[in-house]
Structure 1
Amino acid sequence: MRVSQLFHYPVKSCRGNKCIEMEIDAFGPKWDRRWMIVDKDGRFITQRQVPKMGQIGVTISSESVSFDYQSEQIELSMVEAQGQKDERLVTVWRDQLIGNRIDHPVNAWLSQKLGREVQLVYMPQETVRQVDLEYAELGDRVGFADGFPFLIISEASVEFLAGKVGYPLDVQRFRPNIVVSGCDAFAEDQWKKIQIGEVIFDLVKPCSRCVIPTIDLESGQKQPEVMQAMLAYRKQGNKVMMGQNALHRGEGMIAIGQEVHILKAV
């Protein structure tokens, strides 16, 4: 089994970026979901409410962050993109956190593209958002992702579902960070601990899926047949599960083509 694709998502619910290699820091994939778009009350906004968010691209360099939508683009310096310390709280699900609000024309640009008033916020290095202690150790942290720093899925799992839907499905619909090839569909359900390069990952919880995987990445339109297929083949209790949430043990680099070693399975 090998790593076939890697992705990081700088802004929660915006388009992801393919990586050849991925730097892993204390938060997880470097720059992954360190930014988030919120409403006027500081509450997070995702593709669940605004499917068009998945069509907004975000490019990160050491010096700047740029957003693009269709043929339009806006850029912030990295200093601007990290905002100013702000004691107002932002909300992700049940978590209330201090996020740096960014004072820049990007807010008006995003508001215009998304058709509602929004604000871009950044999670500073000193913020520690604890992962749910039912699945994690004290000190395990995550950025603005829903709950965990990594999502791992196999190519075969997505191909299985595509076969039931009747057309190809881009793996990015499922917002993975690490995609694995060379295993059977849903083999990842049996993994508890894996190693890629020098980094160990604990697979701690199946990922409960919402409407986001039904959204076509190009058109932004929902395709309900994707959810129907997940309900038919991936329902567990009253939820639909695809992929595995994971925590990393250690920091370093991983890359496409590296072997995936199973250290512990169910």
Structure 2
Amino acid sequence: MLTISSLFIYPIKSLGGISLTSSQITSRGLLYDRRWMLINDDNKFISQREYPQMALCKTELVPDGIKVVFKHNDDILIPFDAPAIGRAEVTIWDDTCTADIVCLEAAEWFSKVLGVNCRLVYMPEDSRRPVDPEYAPDDKINSFSDGYPCLLIGEASLTDLSERCGEIILMDRFRPNIVFTGGAPYAEDEMAHFKINNIDFYGVKICARCPIPGIDQETAARTKEPLKTLARYRKKNNKIYMGQNLIHTGEGTLNIGDVLHILSTKPATVFNEEVGEVR
């Protein structure tokens, strides 16, 4: 039996995540997940790819908003109801969408602790960012995540990776939303359609990984692992893969312990051999 073992949200894109025991799922993914984002002077998102020190900004849900703590001492509160002080067309990869500029105090705080000039934006309800139509219906929307509303990874996959690396790799390197226990390593690769609490989930695309899994989320240090090991057996067309991107139909609540009911599967992707070319 496959069951949810962890739930995570990342309210401000590329900052630290929050572990939850339960979460509401909305049309854009888990509630509050990546609804805020930091942008540069060109209105483009910034992330740990360029600024690994963003990993040192830890987030926490508090009654009035999102509390952010930098290096365990300096902190700021981002109110849920912070009024917009302007609007901007912001860019996430190849997408452009409308966002509210919020909280001048936060812009000053993040610019100071990260050492890069930036502003904080929020995705309002009237902003619609479609999921890539090549992999999802036109009516599916996203938050500020890289491409899809949710990311799924199995605990068995991480255990297998850690054994191959010869060291313990933490799940926070991969920034999933839903983690499940049970099943074989990389079982998520083959999940085409499953239900949790009568919410339909569809595995639409295995996740190509950027350099962020190579950043220690506690120290912000760049490391060779786990990407070096993943590249030996999870690489195809010069991309490294881990996790399954999801879209969903329906809204409701997900809880630790909820069962994943698998309704259909798809063929597993064939990757490189340990040594050799893609078959």
Q: Do they fold alike, i.e. is TM over 0.5?
A: yes
- Kindly tell me the number of residue pairs found equivalent between the two proteins: 264
Q: CA RMSD in A?
A: 1.2
Say which SS state the counterpart of residue 129 (structure 2) adopts. Answer: coil
How far the C-alpha of 1:58 sits from its partner, in A, is 2.1
Amino acid at match of 1:133: P
State the distance in 2 between where 1:129 and 1:241 align: 24
How far the C-alpha of 1:62 sits from its partner, in A, is 4.9
Say whether the 8 Å CA contact 1:9–1:15 is kept in structure 2. Answer: yes
Amino acid at match of 1:33: R
**Could you give the per-residue CA deviations for residues 63-91 of structure 1, whole angstroms, max 9, x where no partner exists?**
222211121111133222x52451x3111
Instruction: Within 5 Å, give how 1:174-253 maps onto structure 2.
Output: 174-253=174-253
2:66 aligned residue: 65
Say whether the 8 Å CA contact 1:12–1:35 is kept in structure 2. Answer: yes
1:48 aligned residue: 49
2:39 aligned residue: 38
Say which SS state the counterpart of residue 66 (structure 1) adopts. Answer: strand
Instruction: Within 5 Å, give how 1:90-105 maps onto structure 2.
Output: 90-105=90-105
**TM-score for the superposition, normalised by structure 1:** 0.96
**Could you give the per-residue CA deviations for residues 17-70 of structure 1, whole angstroms, max 9, x where no partner exists?**
001011001111001100000101110001100111122122234522221112
Say which SS state the counterpart of residue 228 (structure 2) adopts. Answer: helix
1:78 aligned residue: 80
**Could you give the per-residue CA deviations for residues 221-247 of structure 1, whole angstroms, max 9, x where no partner exists?**
111131110100111222111000000
**Could you give the per-residue CA deviations for residues 81-140 of structure 1, whole angstroms, max 9, x where no partner exists?**
x52451x31110011111101142111111111111011000001111000101111110
2:274 aligned residue: none
State the distance in 1 between where 2:23 and 2:182 align: 20
State the distance in 2 between where 1:107 and 1:85 align: 13
2:6 aligned residue: 5
Amino acid at match of 1:79: D
Post-superposition, which runs of at least 4 consecutive aligned residues in structure 1 deviate over 3 A? none
Say which SS state the counterpart of residue 224 (structure 1) adopts. Answer: coil
Unmatched runs of 5 consecutive residues or more in structure 1: none
Say whether the 8 Å CA contact 1:199–1:254 is kept in structure 2. Answer: no
Instruction: Within 5 Å, give how 1:13-28 maps onto structure 2.
Output: 13-28=14-29
How far the C-alpha of 1:196 sits from its partner, in A, is 1.1
Instruction: Within 5 Å, give how 1:101-140 maps onto structure 2.
Output: 101-140=101-140
1:145 aligned residue: 145
2:30 aligned residue: 29
**Could you give the per-residue CA deviations for residues 170-211 of structure 1, whole angstroms, max 9, x where no partner exists?**
111101000011111011111101111121100000000011
Say whether the 8 Å CA contact 1:3–1:260 is kept in structure 2. Answer: yes
Amino acid at match of 2:16: R
Amino acid at match of 1:15: G
State the distance in 1 between where 2:214 and 2:119 align: 26
State the distance in 2 between where 1:103 and 1:219 align: 27
Say whether the 8 Å CA contact 2:153–2:188 is kept in structure 1. Answer: yes
Say whether the 8 Å CA contact 2:162–2:169 is kept in structure 1. Answer: yes
Say which SS state the counterpart of residue 135 (structure 2) adopts. Answer: coil
**TM-score for the superposition, normalised by structure 2:** 0.92
